[in-house]
Structure 1
Amino acid sequence: MDERDLTYFCKLIELGSYTKTAAFFEVTQPTISAAIKRLTHKFNDPLITKKNRKSKLVLTAAGKILYHKGLKIINDLKSLNYDVDHANDKKIRIAFSGIAGNFYMPDIVLQFYRAGISSMLDPSFVRSSSAISYLAEGKVDVAVYSWNVPFSDPKYYLRILEVTDFVLIVKADDPLAGEDNISVSRLRNLEFIARDHQYLTTDALIEACRAEDFQPNIIYMANTLELMISLVQRGMGVAFVPENRIKDVSGIAIIHFNKSQRMHSYSQIAMRKSFIPNRYQRKGIDILSNFKK
């Protein structure tokens, strides 16, 4: 089976159009059609059906298997090609999510520096969901991120670095400041400073409120956790954050939730099992494998 044929097939299913797929790869539409025809002959199955020219593409049972396993093969080949081409690299590509990056990166950089290999770090800063995607696509070798459930996948070496509670923070002189172990329902009438959607803190806030059948009143989207905290210190609103990120911060009060309603943030480090470090990278991988803050 030709790798390019499989790539065309998977992109066709993703885009749902022969014309769009041809444009994406800058080839002719007959090129895409010929690739699909070769695959149908190889597997003795139509793979794709259509009621008419304007209807959506529908995968057969065999087509669904080819699509899902094909995506994995394509990603594995991308990772393989990169690893072989860069077998002598003196870099380790690491994706840091925003919160995890701010919290763990200084210690990782320091440990690499003490080992004399700080120049080996090749970091990128993305959302937690993107860090996991980058790892799956072979764009990075290691990911350090936080999520509200522990991530698990046999393709990666995974280790939990820390588990912490989500808490409510308010200005130190706010009427709520003297309370603790409150119900999530108390959040109903509060005004929140939050991150953009798809960030850990916002996803966790929305999930907690959804369980009590209401949407949080988000009055401002901050682009960093530091800005969220700063606005709360100034009394603009309240925020929902991991507790270990705001210890020893002045001007705010930390409020916990009832034990039965508490949500947790799981900080993890993940490494591709398919990544085989060369002799230059081995020392850095050993540091990351045993990293503790």
Structure 2
Amino acid sequence: MNIRDLEYFQRLALEKSYSKVAAFYHVSQPTITYAIKRLETELNIPLVNRSQAHKNVALTSAGRQFLQHVNTILRELRIAKEEISHLTIKKLPLGLPPIIGNYYFPKLSPQLLKADILPHLIIRREGSENLLRQVKLGRLDVGLIGSLDPIQVESLSAEILTKKKFKIVVAKNHPLAHQKEVAFGKLATEKFLLLSEQYVHHHAFLRLSQQNNLDPQVIYQSDDLDILKGMIKSGMGVGFLAELAINPDDNLVTLDLTDNNQPQFLISLVYRNSSILPPIMDKLLELIRQIVTKDEIKKVQKD
């Protein structure tokens, strides 16, 4: 079975026109017609409805079923080509969401430099959802990704490396600053300053709101963590941040949430099951695991 024939068939299902497919691939229309006939001969079943009553090309039921397999075949072939090419490419793409990257990369970078990995690394800083999508599509080999629930995708391996708490964050002169903990339901009258929807925080906040049957007042959302912290510090409102997003230098007060079944910030090392990873990538994965584990041990010892 010819790969090009499969590509022609996939495009025909999209365009519903032999002439448009021919124009797209810069070939003659008979080339497309013969390709479809070859597939039908090999499968011994019509894939296209050739009734003159249909102005546009329509797939038969067998054609629609075959299209699902063709989509999978061509997608996996593209991913395989990219993975094989990575074996010879010296650049290593690593997906890091901003907050996770800001917290772990300074701890990780000395080890990466020592292992001669740092010069080859390309960091892609995007939201966790976008990075997960890129790993699914094979456009990214590895991502250190945040989520509220375990990542369960058939084609991916996802190792939960650690779980972080979400905190309520206020200025030092805020009325809540003298408390060490608070129930989310007690914050119904507060004005909230939140990270935007591209962050896991937004979904965690919604989940807590639903659990408490609240509709909190959100006065501002931002993609910029530093701007958000500055607004919280000035006393404009209350923040909701994962603990790893907060540094001692921020001069902010954090409160634990006392709610049962509160969401946690899961940090997972995600990569494709079928990935053929070069030794340098295997080393990168191991260093990430070591750094996260070491950080957790330090935290336990400190507590």
Q: TM-score range by the shorter chain?
A: 0.7 to 0.9
Deviation at 1:112, TM superposition (A): 0.8
**TM-score when scaled to structure 2?**
0.76
Paired residues of 2:46 and 2:62 also in contact (CA < 8 A): no
The Cα of 1:119 is off from its aligned counterpart by 0.8
Unmatched 5+ stretches in structure 1: none
3-state SS, counterpart of residue 111 of structure 2: helix
| Structure with higher helix content | 2
Q: In the alignment, which residue of structure 2 is the partner of 1:255?
A: 255
How much does 1:157 deviate?
A: 3.5
Matches within 5 A, 1:261-272: 261-272=261-272
Identical pairs, percent: 21
Aligned-CA RMSD value: 3.8
Instruction: Write the mapping of 1:64-79 to structure 2, written as runs, cut at 5 A.
Output: 66-67=67-68, 69-79=69-79
Query: Greater Rg, structure 1 or structure 2?
Result: 2
| Letter in structure 1 aligned against 2:75 | N
Alpha-carbon contact 1:90-1:280 (below 8 Å) kept: no
Q: Distance in 1 between matches of 2:162 and 2:216?
A: 27
Instruction: Give CA deviations for 1:127-178 in whole Å, capped at 9, x if unaligned.
Output: 1011111111111111011111121335333322220111211112211223
| Structure 1 match to 2:176 | 176
- For residues 160 and 41 of structure 1, do their structure 2 counterparts lie closer, same or farther at Cα, with a shift above 3 Å needed? same
Task: After superposition, give the CA deviation of every residue in 1:165-222 in whole Å (9 maximum; x if it has no partner).
Answer: 1121111221122335433333333222222213211121122213333444322222
TM-score, length of structure 1 as denominator length? 0.78
Q: Contact (CA 8 Å) 2:90, 2:120: kept in 1 or not? A: yes
Unaligned runs of 5+ in 2: 296-303
Any residues of structure 2 matched to 1:113-192 within 5 Å, and which?
A: 113-192=113-192
Residue 64 of structure 2 corresponds to which residue in structure 1? 63
**Matched residues in 2 for 1:205 and 1:139: separation?**
30
Judging changes above 3 Å, is the alpha-carbon distance between structure 1 residues 213 and 288 closer, same or farther for their aligned structure 2 residues? same
Cα 1:215–1:47, aligned 2, differ >3 Å: closer, same or farther?
Answer: farther
Alignment CA distance shift 1:265-1:289 (3 Å): closer
Report how many aligned residue pairs link the two structures: 287
SS in 1 for 2:260: helix
Amino acid in structure 2 at the alignment position of 1:169: V
Matches within 5 A, 1:4-153: 4=4, 6=6, 18=16, 26-27=24-25, 44=45, 63=64, 66-67=67-68, 69-153=69-153
Moved more, 88-97 or 275-284: 275-284
CA distance in 1, matches of 2:254, 2:214: 22
